[in-house]
Structure 1
Amino acid sequence: MPQLEVDGAALTYDDEGPRDGGGAPLVFVHGWTANRHRWDHQTAHFSASRRVIRLDLRGHGDSTGAGVPTIRHLADDVLALLDHLEVERFVLIGHSMGGMIAQTIALAHPERVERMVLVNSIGRMAYNRGRGLLMAASTLVPYKLFVATNIQRAFAPGHPREEIRACVRSSADTPREVVMTLYGAMRAFDVLDRAGEIRTPTLMIHGYHDVQLPVRQMLRMAKAYPDATVRILDAGHELPVEKPAELTAAVDAFVTVPSAAGTAS
């Protein structure tokens, strides 16, 4: 597993697929408490024909590093990796917190982002009462119980329990300090008022049953985007796990159709 040292962290990443042809590289960014293996289905599909890059964010998966106070710090990590790999222009696919990272990059460097896919993500954090109470109780309950409760809520009713338990185990391996620091970073994240500046062709794909980041919040963001396509699937917050084949098909259809607007500006 290759790693890159960036600002006190060792970022583990995968760089697969052909370097020539097939379009701009696809860059997959996972969400809070997850890791790069959330994208296993998509990586297996796309790496047969085009370059695919995915990483474990600092403090997650096989990467080291402490939590950081802003989403911008994580965006800088992703850009540092892409600069190291000499990737100038790319397609960004981000899930949840990864979508926040993607939007941050698209705003700062629109010339580098050819297309963007936001999976169960939003432009401004707004928690309902239940989520707020859960986060407030995070300091009062054992960490693994807090993680298990959070992850279980992320899935639509009826999802296989073994898959949920596997996600719980994976998320519980993320250090508490990283999880709680990045919770603060997500809570402070707000680019909704700048959404109109993101002219990158964007697919917003969301789970109808998402209670973590409700679909109505995504739709509010979508209205502000100049070039957005919206897809809603019968799933919860964990689309890469709940509906991997459908997610892959939606991304494939989006990234392989030439943009009517040409390149991002």
Structure 2
Amino acid sequence: MATSVLTATPNDVAIAYRDSAPRRTAEGVPVVLVHGMGGDARTWDGFTRRLTAAGRRVVAVDLRGHGRSARATSYRFSEFAADIAGLCEHLGFDTVDLVGHSLGGHAGSLVAQQQPGLVRRLVLEEAPLPLRASDPVPEVPAHRPTPAELWHAATSMVLNPRAVFSFDRSMIDSVVSQFHTSNPVWWEQLPSMKSPTMLLRGARRGSMVDPRLLTEALALLPDGVVREVLCGHSIHRDRSGEFAATVLPFLAD
């Protein structure tokens, strides 16, 4: 696997990404991986190796304000989505498979809604579902670190003290506020989504996906499937083998 760390500026914000090519000729459409809040593209290194071993080209994005990407003055969900779509345009991708975790999953769902021809298959891992007008604001915090995340942070602090602080914490209030604000437009768009969509939910404490909203979202999706894993919020890291065994066949179909 050959990996390059590159930068593009699709919306006047420098977006870093890791472009990994398989050792043999790439097969199928590229796979775009998008991390959650506080993470960066490196969280996908293990899954990237599995994808490239299967002959897929992989692009793992650092969202604005994260990792090697530039800080920004605004962190709207629509802007995260526009950065992803803009990067795909920069790379000349007409079609991609998109896998997103948490915040990255929600941004990916917006890309699929706004550019239905771009996203062939969509995987939303532990992506919090937007509220509807009638839904109460949840009392749980927007993010509760899993044991694996705490271990990862501690390890990063030892190996690279700067890594733990590699995201712009000014975005936290903005992101939480957006997740706590009803978004009826997102729900209205679900029936018109063309991408076959897999919704992954952790079935243990720490999950950020409301099972009631998940059931209702599934009913509205023309081609959706739900998979639950005995895990908390970070399935791709805490249960990497099960994550790969679930997602790889879906992307290969």
Identify whether the pair has TM-score above 0.5, normalized to the shorter chain. Answer: yes
Aligned to 1:142: none
Aligned to 2:50: 45
1:202 aligns with 2:197: yes
For residues 1-265 of structure 1, the aligned pairs below 5 Å read 1-18=5-22, 20-48=25-53, 49-125=55-131, 127-131=137-141, 150=143, 153-155=144-146, 162-163=151-152, 165-166=154-155, 172-188=165-181, 190=183, 191-209=186-204, 210-257=206-253
Q: CA deviation at 1:222?
A: 1.5
Q: CA deviation at 1:175?
A: 2.0
What code does the residue aligned with 2:76 have?
T
**2:125–2:199 CA contact under 8 A, matched in 1:** yes
User: For the residues of structure 1 that align with 2:101 and 2:37, how far apart are their CA atoms?
Assistant: 9
User: For the residues of structure 2 that align with 1:14 and 1:38, how far apart are their CA atoms?
Assistant: 11
Give SS of 1:86's match: coil
Q: CA deviation at 1:23?
A: 0.8
What code does the residue aligned with 1:52 have?
V
TM-score normalised by the chain length of structure 2 = 0.83
Q: CA deviation at 1:249?
A: 1.5
* Deviation string, structure 1 residues 20-74 (Cα, Å, up to 9, x no partner): 5421111111111111112111111102311101110011011112252421111
Q: Considering Cα pairs closer than 8 Å and 6+ residues apart, tell me whether 1 or 2 has the greater RCO.
A: 1
Q: Percent identity?
A: 25
Unaligned runs of 5+ in 1: 136-149, 258-265
Q: CA RMSD in A?
A: 2.5
Give SS of 1:9's match: coil
User: For the residues of structure 2 that align with 1:91 and 1:116, how far apart are their CA atoms?
Assistant: 6
* Deviation string, structure 1 residues 190-224 (Cα, Å, up to 9, x no partner): 31232111131111111012443333332331221
Q: Against the structure 1 CA distance between its residues 180 and 160, is the aligned structure 2 distance closer, same or farther, given a 3 Å change threshold? A: closer
Q: CA deviation at 1:84?
A: 1.0
User: For the residues of structure 2 that align with 1:62 and 1:113, how far apart are their CA atoms?
Assistant: 25
**2:98–2:108 CA contact under 8 A, matched in 1:** yes
* Deviation string, structure 1 residues 136-190 (Cα, Å, up to 9, x no partner): xxxxxxxxxxxxxx4xx342xx769634645898564322213333333444473
**2:148–2:237 CA contact under 8 A, matched in 1:** no
Aligned length: 236
* Structure with greater helix percent: 1
**2:100–2:125 CA contact under 8 A, matched in 1:** yes
